[in-house]
Structure 1
Amino acid sequence: MLLPISDYAPDLPPNNSEGASANIVNLFPRTKESWGPVGTLVPFGGPNLVSACLGAITAIDTGANNSLFAGDATSLYLQAPGDTGFTALNTSYSLSSGEVWNFTQYGLDVIACGWGNALQSYTLDSSSSFANLSSSSYVPQARYIATIRDFVMVANTFDSINGVQPQRVQWCAIDDPTTWPQEGSNQEAEVLAGSQIIPGVQGWATGIVGNLGNADGAVFFERAIWRIIFQGSPTVFGFYIAEGARGCPAPRSIVQMGALAYYLGEDGFYAFDGANSTPIGLDRVDKTFWANVNEQYLINVIGAADPLNRVIMWLYPSNSSPKGQPDSLLVYNWALNKWGFAKVNAEYIFRAITQGFSLESLDNYAGGIYNLDTLPFSLDSRVWTGGQVLMAAFTPSHGLAYFTGAPAGASADTVEIEPFSDIGKRAFLSTTRPIVDGASPSVQIGTRNRLVDSPTFTVASALNANGECPVRADARYLRARIQLNGTFTNLQGLEVPQTALTPSGSR
């Protein structure tokens, strides 16, 4: 008999018809039949940022060189190709608590917005620091920014004419992010620039994305989502409501991957295609997430896409996290339509693109404090290969790290079974065989005789020379908890030999 580790769906009741588990920790959905490990974070040298990372982007120039930009409350930083640490380019900013940096790339220009500061621009291959995007007095400040078709568009704005406008969007001249003409001027019409206030009860704009499957973009509000459609002159862009009640209360939860934008709504997680939202966490993780997240720090719910593993990740602070420091990670595999969970202490996650190192340049890695025998990553690691997509994070010490370390200790519960329900007897279980291709597994058996009771788990039993974890459990309902420490690739569940399970007791 195989006791599989089925879907992670803690919202379902323990004895559910789906065979789903409420306890899966430090495991990601790997295949339709197995779970894979979560790598621990390995720091990537230094120097670090001065304070908490509030945004990051990897930008690519025409020579396929990758530059990593990041920002904290006072500075914008660059990790140039071949470097391992960050250089502060500008140190004169001041972001208020709760404000963050958002970035977009248009051509060779990396453009950053942070509330209270003019839009900032850095041109790859030529700039030495960030500077104001334009000298024009009509360029707004903004909280959110995106590239949509041939335009840079911002949302939730402030300017000297309109003042603070949380429901306003504005876009630059076509194919020229440095030109933002006066509102209503002839020049604005000639270059297809413009703006739009989207009035209503939907609250503040909380994000903006471009190039979806069924729209040119979308503006997210606290309680609504509006589609963006390019229409050409004279209106340029049209704005049409898609979700009239559901919005996004967590701005940094919005993750665009291909034609879809994934986001956290007021009642759970969704995928938006530019026209409709599809629930992806219903009856699985939504209720558990909202019960566990520290709602005072929804700004610290941070999403990122990992196309290599076909997953969307959401880092968030639990109720037990001090001061809203993110400590938990939900993972959704869009190809398998399955969820996973991990415990991760980080302040920011994002999709990084590695810069590439030669054997010669490794001599100078992290200032030369390592040699080839003591490097924190193996020589065949994807970290050293340029152009490789890897999930990255900023640690609580504000340094860059990758999820390439040894697997974190993992735990998973199998489905719960009532082996002899047809004859009304308890079951006696004497041994089990973990189905895993590595690590050092141990097994506990959770037992209960009534559904109103919580299971009681046996002492953990380690793997013996015969490939079994001997146990002694006697109950009407049985489940297994597998714990792993060490390197493995696939965990499938637990095999119960036919001779190890016999009837016990009476009706």
Structure 2
Amino acid sequence: MINFGEWLPDQPDHMNPGVVTATNVIPSASGYKPFPQLITYSNAATATIRGIFAAKDNDGNVSLFAGDGGKLYKFTPSSSNLTDVSKSGTPAYDLPGAERWRFVQFGEYVIAAGGTGEELQKWQLGTDTAFANLAGSPPKADFIAVVRDFVWVGNIDEGSGRVPFRVRWSGFNDIDGWTTGTDQSDFQDLPDSGAVTGLVGGEYCTILCERAIFRATYTGPPLIWQFDRVESQVGCRLPGSVCNYGSLTFFLSDNGFHAFDGQKATPIGNEKVDKFFEKDFNSNYKDNVSAAVDPLNQIAVWSYPSTSSATGDCDRLLIYNYALNRWSLVNTNTNYIAPFFSGGYTLDDLDNLSATLDGLSTVLDSQLFRGGEYFFGGSIDKKLATFTGDPLAATIETGEVGIATGMHGIVTRIYPYFEGGSVTMEVGTRNTPTSAVTFTSPVAMNVDGFCPFRAQGRYHRTRMNLTGNWSNAQGLDVDARQVGRR
């Protein structure tokens, strides 16, 4: 069997050691798995959603929040509505085009940062019915993270205008304590590395700047934090490209995709997908990019607008399996992607989704309907949405080979190896490396388990098309023979 290798669009099609197309799939150890359709989960917000966050209280109850340019919302499972829980005011918020909501949970509190035009917002789980300004006069900020027992913000405005290279942190275990020099609250300028483009919390703080990466490690008074520039040649060029799984942070730099482990940044897209992305990415709409990690599938995902998107809406997902170091591509429209927890549904609540059980777009026993269950999703058309639908139709195309040097060949049979769903196969041929590739019509597998062909040429490649409820695509076998030098 010829196993489907990794997707390598940056390599030539001819003698490509992997595959040249891997669309609407997730890389797996034995080939590729399906990627599910995006299913809407809520009713519409007022405007395009710019942030999503799920939090659990001490009893495990889930609260699902979202925000657009003018409001903050809490999802209500009983009605599927995004209920306006903004602070008082009309409009309550006014995020400019490039800003978005970023959330963290600190104990029983959810804190939201909406950029340098908005005060930090606070919600106490199980108690509050509306967001309110965080006390203590904290700065406005583009980025927010929880680091040990502190709330951190970066790229901030303290009332005198934006300071893009400054980070600041709260008092020890005190989200309302922002007086510099009191209870370990302070700030740090990083003036020679460009603007802060991302913060990642945890045991230490990862500070991504345009031209460097810093790690801040807690040392306690009097120094409080030790700042180390751990990368001086690599930075993050696109704030929306940052996502993390534990201490592993993924981002896009000026020279491609990288993973930072707290010690060093490692290229993950070099000679694989970096050139493809730069050619496919519509950078005129770079502010629409979002990124998130799906830990269940062990993938980091970037949603971006391609050059085919005239409106700038995101129409691609670039997927990186960080356990296998392999990539794939998904064609689907999204406004934003994020992991979150389901709010849970009763049978009566399901009436808000469909009048009949047969009309549900997701099977009844899906984790989508069980409260507190994790799933990967995002937003589309002002609505929350989840990747819990049926498998998308997928395409996997192998690299190109010649059957014998300088000789023509003919492919007569292809034996596809897959599980579930339906498959058709195509064979692409050409006679010179500079000629256009001509594909046969799709051929279904017959009762003997192969697809019959008479595809003649000097160079051959194959294309597998998968539809229905398929679960795994492993590879194929090919029957071919040499036919001469014509």
Per the normalisation by structure 2, the TM-score is 0.95
Name the CA distance, whole Å, in 1 between partners of 2:329 and 2:68: 28
Q: 1:28 to 1:256 in 2, by over 3 A?
A: same
The answer to whether the 8 Å contact 2:20/2:398 transfers is: no
CA deviations 1:45-82 (Å, max 9, x no partner) are: x3221111111111111011111111100000001465
Unaligned runs of 5+ in 1: none
Answer with 115-124 or 442-451: which moved more: 442-451
Residue of structure 2 in register with 1:196 after alignment: 188
Residue of structure 1 in register with 2:201 after alignment: 210
Residue of structure 2 in register with 1:12 after alignment: 11
Name the CA distance, whole Å, in 1 between partners of 2:216 and 2:390: 44
CA deviations 1:183-215 (Å, max 9, x no partner) are: 3xxxx34x1111111111x22111101126xxx
Residue of structure 2 in register with 1:438 after alignment: 420
The answer to whether residue 326 in structure 2 is matched with residue 338 in structure 1 is yes
User: Pairwise mapping of residues 257-406 of structure 1 onto structure 2 (< 5 A)?
Assistant: 257-357=245-345, 361-365=346-350, 367=352, 369-395=354-380, 397-406=381-390
Deviation of 1:9 after TM superposition, in Å, equals 1.0
Name the CA distance, whole Å, in 1 between partners of 2:69 and 2:351: 25
Name the CA distance, whole Å, in 2 between partners of 1:87 and 1:131: 16
| Aligned partner of residue 129 in structure 1, secondary structure | coil
Name the CA distance, whole Å, in 2 between partners of 1:253 and 1:6: 26
Unaligned runs of 5+ in 2: none
Q: Would you identify which runs of 4 or more consecutive aligned residues in structure 1 move more than 6 Å?
A: none
User: Pairwise mapping of residues 5-404 of structure 1 onto structure 2 (< 5 A)?
Assistant: 5-16=4-15, 19-30=17-28, 32-44=29-41, 46-80=42-76, 84-90=80-86, 92-115=92-115, 116-134=117-135, 136=136, 138-160=137-159, 162-181=160-179, 183=180, 188-189=181-182, 191-200=183-192, 202-211=193-202, 216-357=204-345, 361-365=346-350, 367=352, 369-395=354-380, 397-404=381-388
Deviation of 1:250 after TM superposition, in Å, equals 1.3
| Aligned partner of residue 287 in structure 1, secondary structure | helix
Which amino acid counterpart does residue 416 of structure 1 have in structure 2?
E
Answer with 51-60 or 292-301: which moved more: 292-301
Name the CA distance, whole Å, in 2 between partners of 1:447 and 1:433: 18
CA deviations 1:304-349 (Å, max 9, x no partner) are: 1111111111110111212321000011111111111110101011
The answer to whether residue 442 in structure 2 is matched with residue 460 in structure 1 is yes
Which amino acid counterpart does residue 391 of structure 2 have in structure 1?
P
CA deviations 1:373-408 (Å, max 9, x no partner) are: 43332121111223322111201x111111121211
| Aligned partner of residue 144 in structure 2, secondary structure | strand
The answer to whether the 8 Å contact 2:44/2:383 transfers is: yes
The answer to whether the 8 Å contact 2:153/2:167 transfers is: yes
The answer to whether the 8 Å contact 1:66/1:80 transfers is: no
| Aligned partner of residue 297 in structure 1, secondary structure | helix
Which amino acid counterpart does residue 459 of structure 1 have in structure 2?
S
The answer to whether the 8 Å contact 1:85/1:366 transfers is: no
Name the CA distance, whole Å, in 2 between partners of 1:446 and 1:47: 45
| Aligned partner of residue 252 in structure 1, secondary structure | helix
Deviation of 1:476 after TM superposition, in Å, equals 2.1
Residue of structure 2 in register with 1:416 after alignment: 400
Structure number with higher strand proportion:
2
CA deviations 1:122-152 (Å, max 9, x no partner) are: 0100001000011x3x411111000000000
Deviation of 1:369 after TM superposition, in Å, equals 4.8
The answer to whether the 8 Å contact 1:349/1:394 transfers is: yes
Q: 1:81 to 1:194 in 2, by over 3 A?
A: farther
Name the CA distance, whole Å, in 1 between partners of 2:441 and 2:206: 53
CA deviations 1:351-390 (Å, max 9, x no partner) are: 1112333xxx221235375233433321211112233221
The answer to whether the 8 Å contact 2:376/2:386 transfers is: yes
The answer to whether the 8 Å contact 1:217/1:274 transfers is: no
Deviation of 1:227 after TM superposition, in Å, equals 1.2
Per the normalisation by structure 1, the TM-score is 0.91
The answer to whether the 8 Å contact 2:78/2:349 transfers is: no
Deviation of 1:466 after TM superposition, in Å, equals 2.4
CA deviations 1:455-491 (Å, max 9, x no partner) are: 2212221222322221111122211011122110011
Name the CA distance, whole Å, in 2 between partners of 1:5 and 1:84: 41
Deviation of 1:3 after TM superposition, in Å, equals 3.3
Deviation of 1:84 after TM superposition, in Å, equals 2.6
Deviation of 1:235 after TM superposition, in Å, equals 2.3
Deviation of 1:83 after TM superposition, in Å, equals 5.5
CA deviations 1:81-110 (Å, max 9, x no partner) are: 656331011151000111111111100110
The answer to whether the 8 Å contact 1:65/1:81 transfers is: no
Which amino acid counterpart does residue 387 of structure 1 have in structure 2?
G
Name the CA distance, whole Å, in 2 between partners of 1:318 and 1:379: 35
The answer to whether the 8 Å contact 1:231/1:237 transfers is: yes
| Aligned partner of residue 313 in structure 1, secondary structure | strand
